[in-house]
Structure 1
Amino acid sequence: MSGSSIKHTLTLDPSTPKPPTRDHASHPESLPEAKKTNVHPKGSSGNENASLFFVGTATTILEWEGIRLMTDPNFLHAGDHVHLGPGVTGTRLTNPAIDLHQVPRIDAVLLSHYHADHFDAQVEASLRRDLPIITTPHAKEHLHDHKAGSDKFTDVYDLAFFETMLLNIKPSSPSPAAGTAPAIKVTGMPGKHVPDGMLSIANDLLGAVPPTNGWMLELGHRDTADLAAFTCGYRIYISGDTLMVDDLAEIPRRYAGHNIDLMLIHLGGTTIPSPKLPLLMVTMDAAQGVQLMSLINPDVTIPVHYDDYDVFLSPLEDFKKAVSSAGWEDKVVYLDRADQYRFTVKS
C-alpha cells in the first residue's frame, strides 16, 4: 500500500505551457465553465480545492495544484465507430463535452487499457509524443515499443497491479506546510475484462480482449527531505473496465484502515460481440456496480462509462435503481457530460 516501492518518478511542472496535441493549433488555457458543479452529497466543505470534469465515456480531467490529469481520452462523436476486438465494433451514441482541440494543457494521461473506446484513433494520431502516459505493460508495447520514429510515444510508464509511481508537482506557490511539496501517488489496481475461469485463461492465450488496469490515486504531499515520506490528503479509486472478479478483493485488504474518498466506477454492462448477440459481458452492470460499492466502501461514488456506445446494455437508470434499493443515494453523485465534481484535498 502506501509503503510500496516506487517504480517510476515523474515531475510535473504546471508552468510549462505545452498543448495536449502535437499540432500547432492554439488550445484554451482552461476548461470551459461546467454545465453544473456538484459537491459532496452531504454538502460543501466550503474549501474545495480540486475538481473532476466529465468529458464522456471514461474520459475525465482532474485538476489539482495547477496540474491536469486526463483519463482514457476518447473524443469521437455520435455515429463514429470503434473496433473492440475480432469482429466486434461499437457505435458512439453521444458527443463528448468538448472536442480534443478544446482541451487545455494536459500534464499526464491515465490510460486504463489500449482499447479504441478509451484511446481512439484520432487521439492516438493527435496527442503530442512527449505527453506522459501511465498505462498497462500491454498498452506501452503498442504506444512505445512497437512504434518507430515520430509515431513513438516517448514518455510512457507501465504499471502492473499494485505497482506505484510518484508524480511530483512543481509548486506554483509555497506549500502550506514547510518542507513539503504536492505529489500524487498512482498505483495500478487489478481488473479483468473477462470473468474468472476458463474464459479468462482462454483470453490470456488468444489476447482477444486487452488487459486492463484500475488505478488508485493518492493526492497529497511529500516530504522534500525524505522522498519516501508521503501524506495522503484524498484518495481516488478508478475501477477501469473490469468485472466483479476475485482479484478486486485484494484492494480493501491492502487499503484497510485507509479511507477511499471517491470511486469512479466504469459501468454500462458492455456486451460482445454485439447488442443483438450479447454473449459476454465485459464491464460491470448495475448489480455488479453496487457489489463493488459494498466491497470498496468509498465515501462517494461517481459512475462513468455508462451510455456512450451501443454496446452498453445496462443503462444508468438501472444503477440508480440499484443504489436506491441499497439505500445509498447519499453516497453517489451523478455527472452528465460537461458537469464537474469539486472536492477537498487536505493539506
Structure 2
Amino acid sequence: MTYEILKLPQYHTKHHNGRRFRNIWGPHSDSDATRFDEASSDIRHRALDVASWIFRKGLGGQKSGKVPAVLPLTKADLEQPGDLPRTVWLGHAAVLIQQGDLNIITDPVFADRVSPVKFAGPRRLCGRAIETHDLPRIDAIVLSHNHYDHAEAETLAGLARRDNPAVYVPLRVAALMRSLGFTRVFELDWWQAVETESYKVTCLPAKHFSGRSATDRNETLWASFMISLCESNKHIYFAGDTAYSPHFTEIADVFESIDLTLMPIGAYLPRWFMREVHVSPDEAVQAFLDLKATRMLGIHWGTYDLADEDLDQPRLETLAAAERHAIDKSRLHITDVGAHFTF
C-alpha cells in the first residue's frame, strides 16, 4: 500500500497559531456575542452556570425514552459485505464502512464508560452489537478528535495489537495514537488528504474543541473527514463532533457529490452550553441539506448519556425535522445499533 499526502487548494492555517487551535466562524447565531473571546473562539460561560449544570446532571434521575435496540452481529455477518459499499452503525460515532475486502471504521468506542478512569464517567446505555475482537480486519481508522467518547484507549489499543491499521487523525493527535501502539499514523490539517490505491481520506473543518485533561484544551485539532472509496467512487462524509457553522456549505462547494453523511444528532441540550460544540437535530438536518448529500445516517446518540435530552429525543426530533423539510424517508437512517445498509 502506498500513501500520498496532498494539500487541497483551500488549505490555510487560520485556525491555529503554533500552539493552540481555534474555530474561525465566530459565535453561534444564538449565543451572546459579548461573551465571545476572539483569541480562543470560546464563549466565556460563567463558572457558576457550568458548575451548576454539571452538579444537576450528576444528580439527575432516570430519563424517559428508549435507547436504541441492539441487533447482535457475528463475525460471519461482517466478513462478506459484497461489492456495494455498506455501513454498520456500532453505537455513538463508531461506523464500520465496508466494500469488498476493505474495512474502515470511524471513532471506534466500545467501552462501558468513556472517561480517564473505568469507575466513573458516562456509562454505556445500550449493549454492543459485536465485540472488538470479532470485528473484521480493520484496514483504516478515521479519528475525529481526542475526546474520550471518540478516542477510547482500550478499544484503540486492541485494534492496534490485532491489525495495526493505518490511522488518520487531526494535527497533534498522532502522539496519542503511537502511545497506543499504532505505527502507521497520518496526522492531517484541515484541507489535507491522504490517497491510497483503494481509498482517499480528506481532513476537513469542524466546529468543536479538544482536550483530555483540564490543562490541554485545544492543544490538538478536531476535524471532520471525507472518506472516498475508489472502487465505487462513493464519498462518505463523517462529520465527527461539531456545532453548526458555514463549514458545511464550504465543504459542499468542494465535494459536489456526497453519497452519505454520518451526522451527529445527540448531546445537544442545554443549548446555552452545547450550541457552540454540538448540532441540534434541526441543525443536523440543515447541515445535511447544506451538504447536498444523498443520504444521512444519524450517529452520536443513545449510546452514552452526555447531555440533558431524553434517551430517544434525538431520534424523534431528527425525524420531525426531516418531515418539516419534506425529506424522503428513504434518505434518512436513524437505525438500531448493529443495523446496516448498502448505498
- Measured against the shorter chain, the TM-score band is 0.5 to 0.7
Query: Aligned partners of 1:188 and 1:322: how far apart in 2?
Result: 28
Return closer, same or farther for 1:121/1:278 CA change in 2, 3 Å cut-off: farther
Q: CA deviation at 1:270?
A: 4.2
Please, which of 263, 284, 291 is the counterpart of residue 286 of structure 2? 291
130, 139, 151: which one pairs with 1:107? 139
- Partner of 2:230 in structure 1? 220
TM-superposed deviation, 1:304: 1.0
Name stretches of at least 5 consecutive residues in structure 2 with no aligned partner.
7-73
Are residues 1:82 and 2:115 paired?
yes
CA distance in 2, matches of 1:33, 1:67: 10
Alignment of 1:67-216 (within 5 A): 67-77=102-112, 80-83=113-116, 89-129=121-161, 130-144=164-178, 147=179, 151-168=180-197, 183-193=198-208, 207=217, 211-216=221-226
C-alpha distance in 2 between matches for 1:315 and 1:248: 20
Pick from 263, 273, 278: which aligns with 1:279? 273
Alignment of 1:60-71 (within 5 A): 60-71=95-106
* Alignment deviations for residues 290-338 of structure 1 (CA, whole Å, 9 cap, x no partner): 2202210111111111111111435211111111111113321222111
1:329 equivalenced with 2:323 (yes/no) = no
The verdict on how the C-alpha distance between 1:287 and 1:329 changes in structure 2, with shifts beyond 3 A counting, is same
Q: How far did 1:244 drift? A: 0.8
1: CA distance between counterparts of 2:262 and 2:87? 10
Identity %: 24
> In the alignment, which residue of structure 1 is the partner of 2:89?
54
Q: Go from structure 1 to structure 2 and tell me whether the alpha carbon gap of 1:74 and 1:33 turns closer, same or farther (over 3 Å shift).
A: same
Alpha-carbon distance in 2 for matches of 1:248, 1:206: 27
How far apart in 1 are the matches of 2:304 and 2:237?
23
For residues 100 and 119 of structure 1, the distance between their equivalents in structure 2, rounded to whole angstroms, comes to 14
Which segments of structure 1 move beyond 4 Å, counting only runs of 4 or more?
none
Alpha carbons 1:31, 1:103 under 8 Å: kept: no
Report the count of equivalent residues.
261
User: How does the TM-score come out when normalised to structure 1?
Assistant: 0.67
Q: What is the CA-CA distance between 1:30 and the residue it aligns to?
A: 4.0
* Distance change >3 Å, CA 48–CA 329, structure 1 → 2: farther
Residue identity matched to 1:301: M
Normalized per residue, the structure richer in strand is: 1
- Could you say if the C-alpha distance between residues 324 and 285 of structure 1 is closer, same or farther in structure 2, counting changes exceeding 3 Å? same
Q: Please, what is the CA RMSD of the aligned residues?
A: 3.2
- 1:310 is aligned to 2:305: yes
Q: Note the alpha carbon deviations across 1:257-288, whole angstroms, 9 max, x for none.
A: x32111110120345xxx7x973342211111
User: Corresponding residue for 2:240?
Assistant: 240
Match of 1:127, SS state, is: helix
Q: Displacement of 1:70 after TM fit? A: 1.1
> Is there any run of 5+ residues in structure 1 with no aligned partner, and where?
9-27, 38-46, 169-182, 195-199, 222-231
TM-score with structure 2 setting the length? 0.68
Q: Secondary structure at the match of 2:168?
A: strand
Are the counterparts in 2 of residues 265 and 304 from structure 1 also a CA contact under 8 Å? yes
